[in-house]
Amino acid sequence: MPQDFSTRAIHAGQAFDPTTGSVIPPIYQTSTFVQDGIGGFREGYEYARAGNPTRSSLETLLAELEGGKHGFSFASGLAAEDALLRAILSPGDHIVMGNDVYGGTHRLANRLFVPWGVALSTVELTDLDAVRAAFTPATRVLWLETPSNPLMKISDIAALVELGHAAGAIVVVDNTFASPYLQNPLALGADVVSHSTTKYLGGHSDVLGGALVIDDDELAEKVRFLQFAAGAVSGPMDAWLTVRGIKTLAVRMERHSANAQAVAESLVGHPAIERVYYPGLPTHPGHELASRQMRGFGGMLSVALRGGPAAARAFAESTELFQLAESLGGVESLIGYPSEMTHASVKGTELEVPENVIRLSVGIEGEADLIEDVRQALAKV
């Protein structure tokens, strides 16, 4: 397989159809497969929950792009996270999680796994001493996002892997914000990479999905069993749409990153803006680290408004190109108010997002148009 990312994104797991010569592999829109006698499975396929050639092609592609052995495609990012945690944890175990993560991830751990008897601690991942102190003999998982959602904190993956492994923990990195084009946590020692493929991998706001990439054979087998037994798999059309999106991931991430850098720089020093959270800015505390472990700074940024919650709400509701909606990573720009939207479930906890913070998913529209849009919206604050 060629080494260039763009080449692999287009060709890995995507051989042309040998029957017709179709350049694009067909969508296997089927629920079951004819057997050549009892137990005689053609290419190993028997029932769509257990496996489907369209899903298999996506899983091969995911593993190739993240540099791992085993790729898994799920119906959503949270379905992937749930299967992984169930494959690892038992009552009495302990999770250490970053204190700035997607609200749904914390909700999953706190509302589903804690009542089951799993302990959960949240910690500032940029403070390695605090992370070390958070481990207990029962710690089984160290969960991190970098860049984090929504405050764009940058965590040292290699250093955290060293700490996690010393404590006997499996290190999981949610790589959704960066995508495999900008960052490869497995190459830095992580055990598992997770994605909401709904975001940059799909890239067009038209498909829901999640993914895991795992190197360890034993853990992969446990996840594969849960994928089959619980059944939260991606359907063939969703898998096909995700593959289609991935083929343009490289060029899209370049444009997302360039546009986000320009928008972030345009907001620095604006009288209505208290702070810009974007690792591409030299003033960002994680800028140097991000420059080392990422190949670009991505399309996500957040801003804090000087006028407090009222100003933040007014800004979010005044943009025109930036559409007010949850989610991120599509070709179109989105704006959100995390405190009441993506992170509403963590209000009242240490993960609570400041009420003056707005998150922007910068799309691939024209740079000047995006800058003008945020400026006209800020003029109404």
d(C-alpha 302, C-alpha 152), whole Å: 7
List Cβ<8 Å contacts ≥24 apart for 160-163.
Answer: 160/125, 160/128, 160/131, 161/188, 161/189, 161/190, 162/189, 163/128, 163/131, 163/132, 163/135
* CATH 3.90.1150.10 domain range(s) in the chain: 250-378
**Which residue type is seen at 257?**
S
User: Average per-residue pLDDT in the chain?
Assistant: 97
* CATH 3.40.640.10 domain range(s) in the chain: 5-246
Note if 174 is an active site residue: yes
Note if 199 is an active site residue: yes
pTM attached to this predicted model = 0.96
Q: Is the pLDDT of residue 374 over 70?
A: yes
Note if 191 is an active site residue: no
Q: Which of 28, 102, 200, 337 is catalytic?
A: 102
Residue 269 DSSP symbol: T
Q: Which of 55, 153, 199, 252 is catalytic?
A: 199
The 10s digit of each residue's pLDDT in 29-52 is 999 999 999 999 999 999 999 999
Classify 5-246 by CATH class.
Answer: alpha beta
Burial class (CB in 10 A: 0-12, 13-18, 19+), 222: middle
Instruction: Give the least confident one: 33-47, 162-176, 207-221, 300-314.
Output: 33-47
Which tokens is 228 given?
């089959």
d(C-alpha 170, C-alpha 29), whole Å: 36
Residue 378 DSSP symbol: H
In CATH, the number for domain 250-378 is 3.90.1150.10
Q: Which of 82, 93, 174, 238 is catalytic?
A: 174
Note if 380 is an active site residue: no
